[in-house]
Every structure is written in C-alpha cells, then in structure tokens.
C-alpha cells in the first residue's frame, strides 16, 4: 500500500499482482514529511496494511485527512496466474493454512487444482465489513478484485484499474499525475507466460470467485 497525500495518489496492493513493480515506480516520489505513508509488512504501522482494501483505506483517510483529494488505483493480473502465484508463494497445507500462519503444517498439502476447488482464505474484519457480501471466507474470493476494490453496495472504491500485463499504461498515468517520467518496471511476471492447466470445474470456480477479472481476461 502506498498513500501519497502529497501527490493525490493512493495505490492499493492486491496480493501477487505487481506490488513490487508499483513500489519501485512510485517510491522515489514519497514524501513522509508531508504525510505520505508506505507499508510493506503486516503490523508494521496499524491500522495500515500492505494489502488493505480500498474501502477501508478510504475510511481511514477520511479520518486522518478529511480534505484529501485522492485518486485510487490498483493493479490486477490474470486470475489463474494470480492463484498460481499465491499457491506457490504461500504454500497452503491440507487445511488451507499458509506459511504466514503459525499453525502451518510446513509444506504444501494439496494440489493446485484441489486448492482452487476447495481452498479457503480469511479476510480482515474491516475489509469484510466494507466489502460486498459475495466475498466468502469459505473459498478464495478474498483474493478477488471485488474483495480489494469494491464497496458494500458493489460500487467501485478505486478510480483506475490497470492490468499488470500492461504496466506501461500504469506508468503513463503515473507520469502524468506525478509530473515526472515514471519508467515501467517488470518484476516477477515470468510465470504468467505459462498458466497451469485447470479442468472445467476449477475454471468455473475461478469465474464464480473472481467474476470481474474472469470477464476482463476472457476466461
């Protein structure tokens, strides 16, 4: 998460969707003495979180800087690539516990396809409170764009959505907003070139959990 009050920009960081690329692009413009905030690690600076939802960040900003005029943006990636990256990085065990959980079994406990079909993920209570009711902790919908960027009434809480596969569009917009040339950064995107195969049932589950991204990417 990056909050640039000095520049009128708020960057929402969706897990496994180009956070490193965005950080490298905008961190040189951070001005902490003017109230800008950057968070890379959970519990580093509560109530801020690296992957906090846009509705919750808006709620906090309204309290700390009610006169702030911000444009919120988020980057996304192909939903199957996102899920594959999350699976590989956080290694769910057979109980859908991840390597950031103290109860984690110590190794991956299910296949990727089984995880897509049966895995689950928790959601911060504040993000859940402000997000749409379609987001469930009994599946992987907490990884969806809707969970990160949609209000309870299903209106968008972000002004811009960029695909990480088209990072040049994000860099162009940032250059205009920041008044300086922002070079696109391509980090950790190589896995997107070869998506893991999923059966029809698993693909249907992806479309159910991530409807907007599935439609956008034509899956």
Going along the chain from its start, the domains and CATH numbers come out as 2-217 (3.40.50)
pLDDT (tens digit per residue) in 66-118: 999 999 999 999 999 999 999 999 999 999 999 999 999 999 999 999 999 99
H or E segment to which residue 62 belongs: helix 54-64
H or E segment to which residue 74 belongs: strand 71-76
- What is the Cα–Cα distance from 35 to 17, expressed in whole angstroms? 26
Quick one: tokens of 52? Answer: 């906090």
Question: Number of helices (H) and strands (E), helices first, in the chain?
Answer: 9, 5
Q: Is the peptide bond before 30 cis (omega within 30 degrees of 0)?
A: no
The per-residue pLDDT for 34 is 96
Radius of gyration of the chain from its Cα atoms, rounded to whole angstroms = 17
Evaluate if residue 53 carries a pLDDT over 80. Answer: yes
Global pTM value:
0.94
pLDDT (tens digit per residue) in 174-192: 999 999 999 988 765 545 5
Quick one: tokens of 80? Answer: 């199957």
């Amino acid at each position: 998460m990056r909050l640039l009050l000095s520049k009128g920009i708020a960057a929402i960081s969706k897990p496994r969707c180009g956070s490193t690329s965005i950080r490298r692009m905008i961190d040189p413009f951070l001005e902490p003495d003017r109230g800008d905030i950057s968070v890379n690690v959970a519990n580093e600076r509560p109530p801020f979180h690296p992957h906090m939802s846009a509705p919750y960040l808006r709620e906090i900003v309204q309290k700390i800087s009610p006169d702030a005029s911000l444009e919120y943006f988020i980057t996304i990636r192909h939903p199957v690539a996102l899920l594959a990256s999350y699976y590989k990085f956080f290694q769910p065990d057979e109980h859908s516990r991840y390597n950031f959980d103290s109860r984690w079994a110590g190794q991956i406990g299910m296949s990727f396809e089984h995880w897509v079909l049966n895995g689950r993920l928790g959601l911060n209570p504040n993000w859940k409170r402000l997000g749409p009711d379609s987001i469930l902790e009994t599946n992987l919908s907490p990884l969806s764009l809707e969970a990160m960027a949609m209000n309870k009434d299903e209106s968008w809480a972000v002004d811009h959505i960029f695909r990480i596969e088209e990072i040049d569009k994000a860099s162009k917009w940032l250059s205009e907003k920041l008044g300086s040339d922002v070079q696109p950064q391509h980090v950790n995107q190589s896995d997107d070139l070869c998506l893991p195969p999923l059966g029809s049932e698993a693909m249907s589950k992806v479309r159910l959990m991530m409807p907007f991204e599935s439609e956008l990417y034509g899956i």
